[in-house]
């Protein structure tokens, strides 16, 4: 009997700047590393994919001391993460959805440009979800869930309780004028039940096989919630 490898798919952005503005953005580093660290320690294998494959830029602000710690930098500096996540991420066409137990959409402002309309990533996520897997996200990564539709043509997030980067947090971050839309508003427009806690505090919420985190401080909470479910719990709350 073949034993299925325990794999998790991490989705990263290829977008390096705010649209046409000459201001750098990209992956918010800790939103990837905090999640990845928890899953690796639990014995799971992770793959990394981006809309175009290849190079994944990092938002330079996310490298400031206020947002990272020794564990974040240790994983960031590892050969595996540098090579497979940041330099040579997979393309969607490289992915066989049946190999994965869950998909995780990381954030950073770059994702609002290259996640929402990527039909290949939507198809992968739908297949993982409909085969009993988990769709998860953190912060702006929620933008990747906006347009995923299930096999019956309805929005995956319609009627679901979820969270992501809030309008207030967007204003406080000073980037509201630079992004094409706010995740909170767009998710409500698609029938989601958007919930939130205090700005920039860790918060994750689960609705069935959908697990979402509010902001950059929530990646670890999403990971711990997912792990509880993969170990047999019906909820992390």
Q: What is the pLDDT of residues 161-181, one digit of tens each?
A: 999 999 999 999 999 999 999
Is the per-residue pLDDT at 4 higher than 60? no
Whether the per-residue pLDDT at 3 is higher than 50: the answer is no
Contact of 16 with 24, CB cutoff 8 Å: yes
Is 200 inside any structural domain? yes
Q: Reply yes or no on whether the pLDDT at 2 is more than 60.
A: no
Q: How many residues does the chain have?
A: 237
Q: Which residue has the tokens 């985190």?
A: 213
Contacts of 231 (CB under 8 A, 6+ apart): none
Residue 2, domain member (yes or no): no
Domain containing 210: what range? 7-230
Q: Does residue 58 belong to any structural domain of this protein? A: yes
pLDDT given for residue 66 in this prediction: 86
User: Does residue 1 sit within a domain?
Assistant: no
pLDDT, tens digit (0-9, with 9 covering 90-100), for 37-80 = 999 999 999 999 999 999 999 999 999 988 989 989 999 999 99
Percent with pLDDT over 90 in the chain: 92
Q: What are phi and psi of 199, to 5 degrees?
A: -55, 135
pTM value is 0.96
> Residue 75 is part of a domain; what is its CATH number?
3.40.50.880
Round to whole Å and give the CA distance between 3 and 236. 26
Q: pLDDT tens across 76-123, in order?
A: 999 999 999 999 999 999 999 999 999 999 999 999 999 999 999 999
- Given a contact cutoff of 8 angstroms between Cβ atoms, the answer to whether 214 and 204 are in contact is yes
Instruction: For residues 118 and 4, give the distance between their C-alpha atoms in angstroms, rounded to a whole number.
Output: 28
Long-range contacts of 171-179 (CB under 8 A, 24+ apart): 172/199, 172/200, 175/18, 175/109, 178/18, 178/19, 178/21, 178/23, 178/109, 179/18, 179/109, 179/112
For every residue of the chain, DSSP letters joined together read -PPPP-EEEEE-----BSTTSS-B--B-HHHHHHHHHHHHHTT-EEEEE-SS-B---B-GGGGSGGG--HHHHHHHTSHHIIIIIIISBBPGGG--GGG-SEEEE--STTHHHHSTT-HHHHHHHHHHHHTT-EEEEEGGGGGGGTT-B-TTSSBTTTT-EE--S-HHHHHHHT-GGGSS--HHHHHHHTT-EE---STTS--EEEETTEEEE-SGGGHHHHHHHHHHHHTT-S---
The residue behind tokens 């066409």 is: 93
Please say if the pLDDT value at position 236 is more than 90: no
142 occurs within a structural domain: yes
pLDDT category of residue 237 using cuts at 50, 70 and 90: low
- Judge contact between 105 and 145, C-beta under 8 A: yes
Q: Is pLDDT of 193 > 80?
A: yes
Q: How many domains does the chain contain in total?
A: 1
* Model confidence band, residue 1 (pLDDT cutoffs 50, 70, 90): very low
Question: What is the model's pLDDT at position 17?
Answer: 96
């Amino acid at each position: 009997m073949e034993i299925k490898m325990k794999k998790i798919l991490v989705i990263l952005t290829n977008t390096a700047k705010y649209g046409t503005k000459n201001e750098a953005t990209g992956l918010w580093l800790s939103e990837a590393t905090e999640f990845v660290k928890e899953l690796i320690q639990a014995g799971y294998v992770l793959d990394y994919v981006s809309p175009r494959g290849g190079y994944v830029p990092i938002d330079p602000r996310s490298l400031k001391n206020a947002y990272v710690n020794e564990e974040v930098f240790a994983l960031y500096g590892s050969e595996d993460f540098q090579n497979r996540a940041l330099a040579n991420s997979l393309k969607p066409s490289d992915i066989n959805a049946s190999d994965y137990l869950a998909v995780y959409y990381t954030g950073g402002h770059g994702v609002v440009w290259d996640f929402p309309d990527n039909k290949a990533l939507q198809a992968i996520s739908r297949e993982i979800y409909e085969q009993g897997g988990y769709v998860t996200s953190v912060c702006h990564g929620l933008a990747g869930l906006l347009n995923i539709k299930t096999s019956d043509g309805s929005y995956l997030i319609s009627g679901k309780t979820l969270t992501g980067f809030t309008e207030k947090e967007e204003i406080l971050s000073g980037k509201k004028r630079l992004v094409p839309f706010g995740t909170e508003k767009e998710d409500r427009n698609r029938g989601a039940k958007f919930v939130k806690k205090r700005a920039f505090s860790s918060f994750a919420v689960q609705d069935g096989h959908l697990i979402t985190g509010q902001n950059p401080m929530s990646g670890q909470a999403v990971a711990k919630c997912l792990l509880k479910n993969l170990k047999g719990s019906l909820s992390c709350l």
